[in-house]
């Protein structure tokens, strides 16, 4: 489990979200209140948007609370849109490559939760990813792979549809490999530099917590695993199965499931390895 | 605050103390029960004795629970005498140089607690250390400095007397600088390769916890911040103001305070900077 | 490119190979004489055998010459058989997971060179690895994958045959994907705890250098990228296409190529993804 | 020895100095041409000025060429004034605290060279630093201590005079302790956020190299250990014993030595420990 936060609004120093609030992400890294694991000390990461389409990326393996670089960067760097993540490694080594967020071109992505029994479906999940995205794989987490699956399924053109297909594919693989002992829990936040997307999905109704606030100082909007100022009226919990799309214009909530069901994995989408599909490549 | 453990007995893999017991040092690093801070994730260190007089030293800044090297070394390295420490940084950066144990020649030393208001007395404390020891200073902690003070006061020839003088000097400095807002708490464990010394001292009766066990499997002896197997008859709490000396022959308890009082800091020992003292140098 | 060394003989401190010789591996890390890159500062690793079948493993991302832990461990840890590696990252991030050696059960493996155009054949190479080995993949290097390919092809029962098949498979993939712009260069050293295997193979006659010495002090045997004492009679260069098998009994040289040719990739070995093969699993 | 660079001008991405030029600081870290040590892989650091008086500070222990965070920050962070440093540790451990630049309030400072036989004069040099500055000491380098000495001697009000006094004090200590076996070499660059100061001083005429350019693109000014574009007319070597003061208005060169001699260490400045001086405190 992990804790995360993201912000969109007027340009502010990163610390206004990550370090300064009473229950900031740094505080949550040492003392999470709504997570299975109270301590999130296995690395951290931030992705922030500036004068380039591609976000800046800063990740390290130290606990967020102890990293002097993080503190300095959060104080000096200002951004109108950024993502931040503190990690509690459930499996695998602590390495920069396994820290969130992950980036691809202008996209950044972070995840809280887990694709239960991931080792059982890892291979087939990898086969769904075409080479251009697969070649960008740096670490070994289920999170990064799910991000690449989203990209494969059209994240760059239709995030909602990409999500529907990707979740359906994961569920199909889980089902096929009877990898059902552990739940699939996906609380994800991602961006392409102008909007923040966020959703909670699980197959056991227990996706990690996520809250939103639409009226921070100066009109900023944010999501966070736990309210940054402690429980208060400014922060509202996100329901499961809703996709939040936050932009300068406002916040839209879209049902993640079309007509109560996930998208049909579509013409062979889930079952057929990428090699055998028509030479699609990334959209 | 920190958690620590040390072992003396037949040669065993380090993991038998550090990783395997139900409430091992690794478990304590993530979930200390008797410490002010539950999480001790700001680095760790081990010092172990082998075929050389000088101990091996392995320290790193990652949380102990996440370090793959530590796990491998604990499994493979066997030693008849070793010290281990997990750190919760109260002040200062997380760096290898600030991790315990510290070593000097054949001596190793680790500390749990703090010399309250250390910044106020740091300078004068440094002035008590002659150059040969002072030149060995690597980090910026009060702990390392207290170790060098012990060496200055004859640790290598008479540990008990060195302790008495050193504590008296610290108290004298605390008093002189009115650095009395925070307590002096010293729970220390150290060794020269054949014996383990351990004591708890504080000026407010609240030195960090320490337990001893004299009958581990195969006759091993150990001290630890918290009983390694959880509370049980094999582990007994250490009283304050007693110096424990553990050797192959057995365990001796010596009153830290002579006649209920600390050693007189001696002919000008505390107040006079080392430069002006007769050219003593290390014993 | 990288530099590496391995030792088999009476138990010695690791430093006798890694740090003490005039042209030790540490010296080579900063000033390699026979490598394309003079500086090998992108991490290091050691695997050593002790009282357990599985070797100890210690890797880190700092330059070997700067790592205080490495120096201490090399001084204190003694072993009758160990491998050591310093890395010059040609691609990819510096991470512990990408440092050599890699281990699997009692086997350890390290590589110097590169499978040219690896990105082009990575996917198909991965498909040759059955799940039990694939699940052990930690990093993203061609080296680790080649190790898993060796395991897949029976390293644990017949190293020579496993090598022949694996090299043939790699060449077949290189050919199939026309990934021929960069050469395939494999200078590898590996062990299961009683023997050291070493070979140089390339498809352009320029495999990275490797030397052997059969008469170190006390009868020890070693291989190293460059002679540890500088050029001298005690160190002899390894020819390409010979597999060296070093054991307590002596050193055997076997032609890597059967009858001047690599093993036939065998009944569909190279071309058929592992999924479609009879449910083989690891031998 | 180390390599360094600093920039003042219109706001540019840090990479324009650190990573992009043909002979950028990153290139110099791996292949310095005018330094005693070709490889500068023992950590790096950057200090940059933004919307706050205090600069941002980012330091790490990996070789600069291998650090993915550094590359990303250099690409995204823009600044009108920044300092950058790659380190070749001559003594002491590689740690973030020992990496340059060092900061104090709005000041940042970096150094290339060494105060020869530093261990011999360290203690007395420390005694010259009053508590407020001394308490800010994080590492154990001569460089950081010289920075604190500059602050002690009035860096914040009169940099030239502070330099003159500080160098004289160092020379006096070197003389007093007969610490003359190794030379004193100081090539330093520092800033308070609006100006860059730079000088070369040595007592053997061999201060590490430093070049200046006053007409980078868009009118930027810079100093660097080696010309960032290779030898060319845009870069001029700095003479020894001249203090360069670079501001938006232009560049001034001041003789470091008043009338060919350093400032008199002044009323007991060098010889008298700070404790015994009139309670001066920082200016």
Q: Are strands C196-202 and B250-255 parallel, antiparallel or unpaired?
A: unpaired
Collapsing DSSP to helix, strand or coil, D181 comes out as coil
Residues of chain D with C-beta less than 8 angstroms from the C-beta of C63: 41-42, 63
For the residues D134-159, what does the mean pLDDT come to? 95
Q: Which two tokens stand for residue C159?
A: 């190293």
Q: Alpha-carbon distance D68 to C159, whole Å?
A: 37
Domains and CATH numbers, chain C: 3-278 (3.60.20.10)
Tell me which residue in D93, D119, D137 faces B96 most closely, judged by beta carbons: D93
**Annotated catalytic residue: which of A2, A74, A99, A188?**
A2
B54 touches B103 (CB < 8 A): yes
Residues of chain C with C-beta less than 8 angstroms from the C-beta of D87: none
Residues of chain B with C-beta less than 8 angstroms from the C-beta of C50: 76-78
Q: What pLDDT score does C116 carry? A: 83
Q: What pLDDT score does D261 carry? A: 58
Q: Alpha-carbon distance C84 to C87, whole Å?
A: 10
Which of B135, B136, B272 is the best mutation test for D, with the most CBs of D within 10 A?
B135
Chains that touch A (3 or more CB pairs under 8 A): B, C, D
Is cis: bond before B175, omega within 30 of 0?
no
Residues in chain A with pLDDT values less than 70:
1, 90-93, 258-283
Q: Minimal Cα distance from B31: which residue of A?
A: A39
- Nearest CA distance, D216 vs chain C (angstrom): 32
Contact C89 D66 (CB under 8 A): yes
Q: What pLDDT score does D49 carry? A: 98
Q: Minimal Cα distance from C87: which residue of D?
A: D66
Q: pLDDT class for D262, splitting at 50, 70, 90?
A: low
Q: Which helix (H) or strand (E) holds D83?
A: strand D78-87
Q: What pLDDT score does C269 carry? A: 42
CB atoms within 10 A of CB D206: 13
Q: What pLDDT score does C173 carry? A: 96
- Nearest CA distance, D262 vs chain A (angstrom): 37
Q: What pLDDT score does D112 carry? A: 95
Contact A42 B63 (CB under 8 A): yes
Q: pLDDT class for B263, splitting at 50, 70, 90?
A: low
Q: Alpha-carbon distance A25 to A7, whole Å?
A: 12
Q: Alpha-carbon distance C116 to C175, whole Å?
A: 12
Q: What pLDDT score does B266 carry? A: 47
Residues in chain C with pLDDT values less than 70:
1, 90-93, 258-283
Q: What pLDDT score does A262 carry? A: 61
**DSSP letter for each residue of A98-140:** GSSPEEETTEEEEEEEEETTHHHHHHHHHHTS-HHHHTT--S-
Lowest mean pLDDT among B132-141, B143-152, C78-87, C262-271: C262-271
Contact D97 B95 (CB under 8 A): yes
Q: What pLDDT score does C46 carry? A: 98
D254 touches D238 (CB < 8 A): no
Q: What is the DSSP letter of C173?
A: H
pLDDT (tens digit, 9 = 90+) per residue, B13-71? 999 999 999 999 998 988 888 877 778 888 999 999 999 999 999 999 989 988 999 99
Q: pLDDT class for B235, splitting at 50, 70, 90?
A: very high
Q: Alpha-carbon distance B64 to B74, whole Å?
A: 11
Query: Residue D257 above 90 pLDDT?
Result: no
Name residue, tokens 């079309």: A258
Residues of chain D with C-beta less than 8 angstroms from the C-beta of A78: 50-51
Contact A135 C119 (CB under 8 A): yes
Query: Residue D263 above 80 pLDDT?
Result: no
Contact B93 D96 (CB under 8 A): yes
Q: What pLDDT score does A33 carry? A: 84
| Rounded (5°) CA angle B9-B14-B20 | 105
Q: Which residue has the higher pLDDT, A216 or D271?
A: A216
Contact C42 D63 (CB under 8 A): yes
Could you tell me the pTM of the whole model? 0.89
Residues of chain C with C-beta less than 8 angstroms from the C-beta of A122: 134-135
Residues of chain D with C-beta less than 8 angstroms from the C-beta of B45: none
Nearest to D111 by CA among D46, D173, D190, D170: D190
Is cis: bond before C101, omega within 30 of 0?
yes
Nearest to C261 by CA among C171, C138, C149: C171
Residues of chain A with C-beta less than 8 angstroms from the C-beta of B60: none
**Annotated catalytic residue: which of B2, B74, B99, B188?**
B2
pLDDT (tens digit, 9 = 90+) per residue, B78-121? 999 999 999 887 655 678 999 999 999 999 999 999 998 898 99
Q: What pLDDT score does A273 carry? A: 43
Q: What pLDDT score does A268 carry? A: 40
The chain-wide mean pLDDT, for chain A, equals 88
pLDDT (tens digit, 9 = 90+) per residue, D7-39? 999 999 999 999 999 999 998 988 888 877 778
Q: Please state, in angstroms and as integers, the Cα–Cα distance from residue C215 to each residue in B220, C6, C9, C219, C222, following that order.
A: 41, 14, 10, 5, 8
Q: What pLDDT score does C274 carry? A: 43
Contact C66 D94 (CB under 8 A): yes
CB-count exposure of residue B259 (10 Å: 0-12, 13-18, 19+): exposed
Query: Residue D264 above 70 pLDDT?
Result: no
Number of inter-chain CB pairs under 8 A, A vs C? 34
Q: Could you give the residue numbers annotated as active site of C?
A: 2
- Nearest CA distance, D131 vs chain B (angstrom): 8
| Cα diameter, chain A | 52
Tell me which residue in A97, A122, A126 faces C93 most closely, judged by beta carbons: A97
Q: What pLDDT score does B116 carry? A: 83
Query: Residue B128 above 80 pLDDT?
Result: yes
Q: What pLDDT score does A88 carry? A: 84
- Nearest CA distance, A193 vs chain D (angstrom): 14
Number of inter-chain CB pairs under 8 A, C vs D? 32
Q: pLDDT class for D258, splitting at 50, 70, 90?
A: low
Contact A68 D78 (CB under 8 A): no
């Amino acid at each position: 489990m992990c804790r995360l936060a993201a912000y969109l609004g007027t340009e502010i120093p990163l610390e206004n979200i990550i370090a300064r609030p009473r229950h900031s992400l740094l505080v949550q890294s040492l003392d999470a209140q709504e997570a299975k694991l109270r301590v999130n000390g296995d690395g951290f990461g931030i992705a922030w948007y500036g004068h380039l389409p591609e976000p800046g990326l800063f990740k390290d393996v130290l606990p967020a609370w102890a990293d002097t670089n993080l503190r300095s960067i959060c104080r000096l760097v200002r951004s109108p849109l950024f993502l931040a993540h503190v990690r509690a490694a459930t499996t695998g080594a602590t390495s920069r490559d396994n820290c969130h967020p992950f980036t691809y071109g202008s996209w950044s992505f972070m995840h809280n939760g887990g694709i239960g029994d991931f080792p059982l479906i890892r291979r087939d999940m990898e086969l769904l990813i075409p080479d251009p995205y697969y070649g960008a794989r740096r670490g070994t987490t289920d999170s990064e792979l799910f991000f690449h699956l989203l990209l494969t399924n059209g994240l760059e053109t239709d995030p909602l549809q990409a999500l529907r297909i990707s979740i359906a594919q994961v569920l199909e693989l889980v089902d096929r490999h009877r990898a059902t002992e552990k739940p699939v829990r996906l609380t994800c936040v991602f961006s392409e530099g102008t909007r923040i997307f966020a959703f909670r999905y699980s197959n056991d109704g227990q996706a990690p917590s996520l809250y939103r606030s639409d009226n921070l100082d100066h009109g900023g909007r944010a999501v966070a695993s736990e309210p940054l100022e402690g429980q208060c009226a400014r922060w509202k919990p996100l329901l499961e199965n809703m996709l939040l799309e936050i932009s300068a214009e406002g916040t839209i909530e879209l049902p993640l499931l079309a007509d109560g069901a996930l998208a049909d994995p579509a013409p062979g989408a889930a079952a057929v390895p990428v090699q055998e599909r028509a030479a699609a490549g990334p959209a």
